[in-house]
Structure 1
Amino acid sequence: MKIASINVNGIKSAVDRGFLDWLSEQDADVVCVQNLQVKSFELSEEILYPEGYEGYFLDAEQDGFSGVGLYCRQIPKAIMYGLGFEQCDHEGRFLQADYDKFSVASFLMPEEPEAKLKFIAQYSDYLNKLRRKRREYIICGTWHIAHKTIDVRHWAEHQTTPGFRAEERAFMDQVFGPMGFIDTFREIDRDSDQYTYWPKLDQEVPRNRQDGWRLDYQIVGPNLQRSVKDAWIDTEATFSEYAPLFVEYDLEP
């Protein structure tokens, strides 16, 4: 099973830059999209239901803000909208597709520092509860936090920058430590210069030479650790300041 995750940073502008063409060329079973910045009823049929996919979306209440979606080749058994707390659900930050033995979620963490820390307090409770469930989960999306120094190109300059502050990184230490979740990309690739976001994207300069950040993750519980077969970042896709993150799992929908 191949899962892709991409922060489109405005799906209409991403479509104008070639998102749908890119999507048609991928052999992905599920594509998780974040930061749609539009209500789903404002989208055309070709965006809602690209050939070969069923689209599912959770809109933010605020216009032009947030929003997440899932493109699924196989229709899920159920769709779960939100996590039951206002900051998540009203801002369109979590959408989950349930299959027989596992679930795939599209997730978008708040970017603004105070909102992020408020969200983390409630999101941590949710993640801890997952450890007690029999179902397996694959949570995909933008966390707006770079975990280690290897995940920020000029990390020494960014120690007080939102997204790399000590309290944010400490939360990721908990996620990949006591909470028991696995950073699937780092299971496969431990090299430097592996980023998913470039704040000043310049088409003339190769992405790996710019001020890159790895802000996007696909995380799983320990029972799925051995199911992770491959992972990579598609730096050739330039319809967003974010790059698609792919992970292949030894799973069937």
Structure 2
Amino acid sequence: MKLVSWNVNGVRAVMKKEFLSSLAAMDCDVLCLQETKAQDDQVLEALSELKGYEIFTNSAVKKGYSGTSIITRVKPSEVSKDIGIEEHDQEGRVLCAQFDDFYLVTVYTPNSQNDLRRLPYRQAWDAAFLEYVKALESKKPVLICGDLNVAHRDIDLARPKPNYNKSAGYTQAEIDGLDNLVAAGFTDTFRHLHPEEVKYTWWSYRAGARERNVGWRIDYFLASKALKESVQQAHIHNEIFGSDHCPVSVVI
């Protein structure tokens, strides 16, 4: 089973950038999208040319903002939205599909913003999300994917020193949030299989960052202990364009 996660930075925008051919090239069973920037009906309309997949969506109350989607060839037994906390359930950031052997959770973690004004909210989110996935895991293993909006270690961004504790996505508070997921038993699948490889998943649109590969690895697949050894491959598809993020994938 091949699963792909991609922050598309607007599903309607990415459809104009060879999205269907990129999806065909990846040939995945499940595609999880973050930052769809559209309401549920708009996502379905944008993806109307897509054949052979079932589409599930979770949109924000605020129009044109945030949003997640799961596009799958394999029918899930159940799909649920959000984490059950009203404060955190306004932005369409979590979508969960239940399959026979595991839960698949796609998440678009809140960005702390350039001036870090949303960092306290982000810390509350991280704690609540951890409790949510632990509750799921008490029933069956969990595979988490999405834009976690944090680079975990120095190897995961091109310029760690100037960004540490100054830039959203590389503060100690955000790193601690991911550390807590790892401590709870969730494995960073790419780093597990590629411990020394330098590859990024997001680049600023400014100053030719992608051409110069001045990037950040902030998109992940995290696997429960029970799934860890089932992950045969983990890849970052930085040859695929269409967004400021590139897709990431696993084969289980």
Aligned: 1:161 with 2:136: no
In the alignment, the residues of structure 2 paired with residue 145 and residue 217 of structure 1 have an alpha-carbon distance, to the nearest angstrom, of: 10
Aligned: 1:134 with 2:139: yes
Aligned: 1:176 with 2:199: no
Q: Mean alpha-carbon deviation: is it higher for 82-91 or for 28-37?
A: 82-91
In the alignment, the residues of structure 1 paired with residue 99 and residue 133 of structure 2 have an alpha-carbon distance, to the nearest angstrom, of: 19
Q: Which residue matches 2:222?
A: 219
In the alignment, the residues of structure 2 paired with residue 148 and residue 222 of structure 1 have an alpha-carbon distance, to the nearest angstrom, of: 21
In the alignment, the residues of structure 2 paired with residue 117 and residue 7 of structure 1 have an alpha-carbon distance, to the nearest angstrom, of: 21
Q: Which residue matches 1:72?
A: 72
In the alignment, the residues of structure 2 paired with residue 105 and residue 124 of structure 1 have an alpha-carbon distance, to the nearest angstrom, of: 12
Contact 2:35–2:108, Cα closer than 8 Å, also in 1: yes
Count of matched residue pairs: 245
Contact 1:55–1:69, Cα closer than 8 Å, also in 2: yes
In the alignment, the residues of structure 1 paired with residue 177 and residue 42 of structure 2 have an alpha-carbon distance, to the nearest angstrom, of: 36
Pick from 165, 173, 186: which aligns with 2:191? Answer: 186
Report how far residue 49 of structure 1 moved: 6.4
Contact 2:201–2:216, Cα closer than 8 Å, also in 1: yes
Q: Mean alpha-carbon deviation: is it higher for 50-59 or for 105-114?
A: 105-114
Structure 2 spans left out of the alignment, 5+ residues? 113-118
In the alignment, the residues of structure 2 paired with residue 37 and residue 163 of structure 1 have an alpha-carbon distance, to the nearest angstrom, of: 20
In the alignment, the residues of structure 2 paired with residue 27 and residue 18 of structure 1 have an alpha-carbon distance, to the nearest angstrom, of: 14
Q: CA RMSD in A?
A: 1.8
In the alignment, the residues of structure 2 paired with residue 156 and residue 210 of structure 1 have an alpha-carbon distance, to the nearest angstrom, of: 17
Contact 2:133–2:142, Cα closer than 8 Å, also in 1: no
Contact 2:201–2:247, Cα closer than 8 Å, also in 1: yes
Give runs of ≥4 in structure 1 deviating > 6 Å. Answer: none
* Aligned sequence identity (%): 30
Aligned: 1:245 with 2:251: no
Report how far residue 188 of structure 1 moved: 1.1
Residues 47-77 of structure 1: CA deviation (Å, up to 9, x unaligned): 0561121111001000111000001002111
Q: TM-score, normalised by structure 2?
A: 0.91
Q: Taking structure 1 as reference, are residues 161 and 98 closer, same or farther at Cα in structure 2, changes over 3 Å only?
A: same
Contact 2:202–2:217, Cα closer than 8 Å, also in 1: yes
In the alignment, the residues of structure 2 paired with residue 61 and residue 100 of structure 1 have an alpha-carbon distance, to the nearest angstrom, of: 31
SS class of match (1:144): coil
Aligned: 1:117 with 2:123: yes
Residues 159-189 of structure 1: CA deviation (Å, up to 9, x unaligned): 1211100111112122112x11111111111
Report how far residue 232 of structure 1 moved: 0.9
Q: Which residue matches 1:232?
A: 235
Q: Which residue matches 2:27?
A: 27
Q: Mean alpha-carbon deviation: is it higher for 189-198 or for 221-230?
A: 189-198
**1:52-131 equivalent positions in 2, closer than 5 A:** 52-112=52-112, 113-131=119-137
Contact 1:49–1:55, Cα closer than 8 Å, also in 2: no
In the alignment, the residues of structure 1 paired with residue 125 and residue 51 of structure 2 have an alpha-carbon distance, to the nearest angstrom, of: 35
Contact 2:43–2:57, Cα closer than 8 Å, also in 1: no
Residues 121-163 of structure 1: CA deviation (Å, up to 9, x unaligned): 32232234345x1311111100101111110111011112111
Q: TM-score, normalised by structure 1?
A: 0.90
Q: Which residue matches 1:148?
A: 153
